[in-house]
Amino acid sequence: MNIPMSWLKDYVSIEADIKDFVEDITLSGSKVEGYTTLAGAIQNVVTGKVKEIKPHPDADKLVITTIDAGQGKDITIVTGARNLKVGDYVPVALDNSILADGKEIHTGALRGVVSEGMLCSVQELGCDIHDFPEACEDGIYVFPEAVELGKDVTEVMDLKDDVVEFEITSNRPDCFSVVGLAREAAATYETEFRYPQIRVEEKGEGNAKDMISVEIQNPELCPRYIARVVKNVKIGPSPRWMRKRLRASGVRPINNIVDITNYVMLELGQPMHAFNIDTIAERKIIVRNAKDGETITTLDGNERKLDSSMLVISDPQKAVAVAGVMGGENSMISEEAEAILFESANFNGPNVRITAKKLGLRTDASGKYEKGLDPNLALDAVNRAAQLVELLGVGEVVPGMVDCYPNERKPWKLSYSPEWINRLLGTDISEEEMIAIFERIGLQVDAQAKEVLIPTYRPDLEAQADLAEEVARFYGYNKIVPTLAAGTPTVGKKTYKQSIVSMIKDTMISSGLCEAMTFSFESPKVFDKLNIPADSPLRKTVVISNPLGEDFSIMRTVSIHGILNSLATNFNRRNEEAGLFEVGKVYLPKAVPVTELPEEKEVLTIARYGNMDFYDIKGVLEQLFIILGMDNKVDFIPEKSIAWMHPGRTATLAVNGKTFGYVGELHPQVAVNYGIGTKAYIAVVEIETLIAEAVLVKAYKALPKFPGITRDIAMLVKDEITVKQIEDVIKNNAGEYLEKVTLFDVYKGSQIEKGYKSVAYSIDFRGADRTLTEQDIAKAMQQVLSSLAETLGAQLRDK
């Protein structure tokens, strides 16, 4: 909301300079986004008179003018303008002057003739034809009458003003107006607020009541409708002062009648509309719901299709306006209009908002209505408009009005307790001071009963907490002394789950991975990209009904799409390697379509490419399981059935037979789908299982006291036998002194029979209570070797 200071100052005296004002009013609750000074840049541009016009000797399109700009001597200015004649009064930018856009003007030569300045158009003074309708469209501005010479044009033309941009919160519809902000400013500065003096002379003939009738069919959506009539209207431009204020507030001047409605809307916050009374059939206004499929062409020339939830202003034959949103073309004010009907009505805010949204037609009026206006404002507004008609002399206001107001909104009472307010604020403000604040914002105080009467324009004041805010605002938020709550002490902490997640992240980072952040919604096309079968339950998703587009339309059920995209980004930017991880959620619906909140499952996702293979990413997980104290119970089981993973290079993670993730190489086809031109490795781990299985407090094992003995063995086994199978046999047969089994070589090649591989282990033995003997070891090894031969067909190799 943009407000010119000059307008505000009509209703409140403000002595502070603009900088202090914006800070003061911001701190009392009306936030200023910024301010601009109209014509602020203009310097050294004065009024002048054309004394002589001569042709330029060397340029057909230029003329040489002699100007008296009140400088003591005449000056010469060369101009290309064609609209000048001797005797014209014009704005003159002197040597070393500055125009509205900051451009500097200095004496210089134009085609060999010295020009000591410049004659200005309205554009060069930061205005346009809407500000000065009498101005020549593309020429020098000529004052309509004689002016004193050498005077600052910003004053003569009334160009300057400070325009303040306010951010008004939705709870304060009253502040969407000059008057509302003047009231706030007066309370801020503890100074007098002067409400506009509204008086209508009603010099027209007859009575509005005999000329028009109003029927409200839906009083819930239209609590009040007032109509006034103006006859013998003279449509034309409105005066400069009004146009200037409208323009400064961001509203385009149109004609005097429309300008008056806009002026009142800006000043009082009440939107108004003017109908050409001759277009209203039977001169009867009916406020009713639209019929489904009914259409109306609005003022902007667009045909709008309405439905029965929308409210229209209509006559017995046709709709003439969408209530609170925009008027119809069929009833607009034209140049020929003789009599008009001023509408000042109150409409239900939410309904206006929904209608405007459905029609895609947000207007200044709908923006005001949707905040919920005070129906009592409508009367002042219609009278103010009538007053302005009389002030501008553009018509005769017919006495009387039609005012349909079935349920009057009355002020309401609120009790206050100074103790309660002080307790909430942590202050020690006296009752007198609170009462003074209440009075400053227009509440009537009954100090005896400790009650205030709330004016109807303050619907936000509903309870004592709201009064506490008013007290705090004008006492000063920044005067409230900061304290540290004593109260009952609490322990600041993370949940167990959050601690585990922190450990997971720390481990990932110490493993060289960078933390990624990806979107949790994506496109349903993702499933095809990931080779996910058509009947997979993963395709059952939480669907967003109003997404930003298909690409963001479903909540993810697999966590890898975003991170694969990120790998592709890294690959395309020629990053040699990239290792990313994310702890994020997948969203699994319990039923489709969704009827209850989905399961939000947190997963760790790792994705990387670069100089590495499967065992590098597996190593990261092993490290994680060690940190979480669960390395001894996790199995890596060969897995061929994950559609987006390499079937020969993927393992499922399982603990006690329950799977909780997988790790492996991305399916080469999927890598191609994502544009990752190299092998990529993926791991996905369910956090839930990590939380359940982690053992953070680990039992200490005594450090060894006796020396250990190591035996190395190498064996030949069939290719398809996994080292896990071999290790299980060793562990199950090596007896009680087995300490550790370490794989140190796997070899396939020229000396090995095809279909076989050589596998070599170090086996460490150690006794807890004694030094082991040769016999102990021999016995254990014997058992190991024979079991390996028996169960896996392993042949011991001589080394």
Partner 1 sequence: MKEKLSLIHTKALETLKEISQMKELEEAKVRFLGKKGELTSVLKEMGKLSQEERPLIGQLANDVRQDIEKRLEEAKKRLLAAEMEAKLASETIDVTMPGRGAQCGHKHPMSIVIDEITNIFMGMGYEVAEGPEVEKDYYNFEALNIPANHPAKDEQDTFYINGDILLRTQTSPVQVRTMEKGKLPIRVICPGKVYRADEVDATHSPIFHQLEGLVVDRGITMGDLKGALAVFAKELFGEDTKVRFRPHHFPFTEPSAEMDVTCFACGGKGCRVCKGEGYIELLGCGMVHPKVLKMSGIDPEEYSGFAFGMGLERVTMQRYGITDLRLLFENDVKFLKQF
Asked whether position 493 contacts partner 1 by CB under 8 A, the answer is yes
Q: Using the rule CB under 8 A, is 18 a contact of partner 1?
A: no
Integer Cα distance of 269 and 375 in angstroms: 11
Strand pairing report for 213-216 and 284-289: parallel
Among 197, 483, 751, 775, binds partner 1 (CB under 8 A): 483
Q: Does 106 interact with partner 1 (rule: CB under 8 A)?
A: no
**185 counts as binding partner 1 under rule CB under 8 A:** no
Q: How far apart are CA 564 and CA 677, in angstroms?
A: 12
Residue span binding partner 1 (CB under 8 A) among the ranges 106-114, 310-318, 481-489, 707-715 = 481-489
Closest distance to partner 1 from the beta carbon of 550 (Å): 14
Rounded to the nearest 10 degrees, the angle between the axes of helix 377-392 and helix 256-268 is: 140
Could you give the 3-state DSSP secondary structure of residue 536? coil
Q: Would you say 168 and 178 are in contact if contact means Cβ atoms under 8 Å apart?
A: no
Burial of 448 (0-12, 13-18, 19+ CB in 10 A): exposed
User: Least Å distance between CB 585 and partner 1?
Assistant: 7
Contacts of 482 (CB under 8 A, 6+ apart): none
> Interface residues for partner 1 in 419-448 (CB under 8 A)?
423-427
Q: Which of 197, 448, 490, 751 binds partner 1 (CB under 8 A)?
A: 490
Using CB under 8 A as the binding rule, the residues of this chain from 294 to 353 that contact partner 1 are: 349-350, 353
Site map 368..387 versus partner 1, x via CB under 8 A: --xx----------------
Element holding 792 (H helix, E strand): helix 774-792
Residue 325 C-beta: closest distance to partner 1, Å: 15
If we measure between CA atoms, which residue out of 178, 163, 166, 153 comes closest to residue 37?
163
Q: Which residue has the tokens 């399961």?
A: 599
Give min distance, CB of 449 to partner 1, in A.
20
Nearer to partner 1, 480 or 692 (CB): 480
Site for partner 1 in 502-531 (CB under 8 A): 505, 508-521
Q: Which residues contact 624 (CB under 8 A, 6 or more apart)?
A: 504, 507, 508, 511, 685, 690
Answer yes or no whether residue 469 interacts with partner 1 by CB under 8 A.
yes
30, 202, 226, 324, 332 from 401: Cα distances, Å: 35, 10, 7, 20, 20
Does position 619 interact with partner 1 (CB under 8 A)? The reply is: no
Least separation in angstroms between CB 443 and partner 1 = 16
Considering only residues 536 to 555 of the shown chain, the ones binding partner 1 according to CB under 8 A are 542-548, 552, 555
Nearer to partner 1, 366 or 652 (CB): 366
Alpha-helix runs per DSSP H in 628-764? 668-674, 687-693, 723-733
CB of 476 to partner 1, least distance (A): 9
Minimum distance, C-beta of residue 298 to partner 1, in the bound complex (Å): 21
188 binds partner 1 (CB under 8 A): no
Which regions of 676-726 does DSSP assign to beta strands (E)? 680-686, 709-718
Residues with Cβ < 8 Å from 336, sequence gap 6 or more?
none
Q: Does 28 bind partner 1 (CB under 8 A)?
A: yes
Q: Which of 62, 63, 404, 468 binds partner 1 (CB under 8 A)?
A: 468
Which residue, 316 or 350, has its beta carbon nearer to partner 1?
Answer: 350
- Applying CB under 8 A, does 31 fall inside the site for partner 1? yes
Exactly one of 114, 449, 465, 768 binds partner 1 (CB under 8 A); that residue is 465
Three-state DSSP at 192 gives: coil
Q: How far is the CB of 656 from partner 1 (least distance, A)?
A: 27
Question: Per residue in 4-19, is it b (16+ CB within 10 Å) or e — as a string?
Answer: bbbbbeebbebeeeee
Please pick, from the candidates 197, 478, 750, 775, the single residue that binds partner 1 as defined by CB under 8 A.
478
Nearer Cβ to partner 1, position 156 or 424? 424
- Among 716, 798, 713, residue whose Cα is nearest residue 757: 716
Number of residues that bind partner 1 (CB under 8 A): 92
Site string for partner 1, 561-600 (x = CB under 8 A): --x--x--xx--x-x-xxxxx---x-x-----xx-xxx-x
- Pair 213, 306: CB distance under 8 Å: no
* List 11, 45, 115, 172, residue binding partner 1 (CB under 8 A): 172
Are 55 and 39 a contacting pair, CB within 8 Å?
Answer: no
Report in angstroms how near the CB of residue 31 gets to partner 1 at its nearest: 6
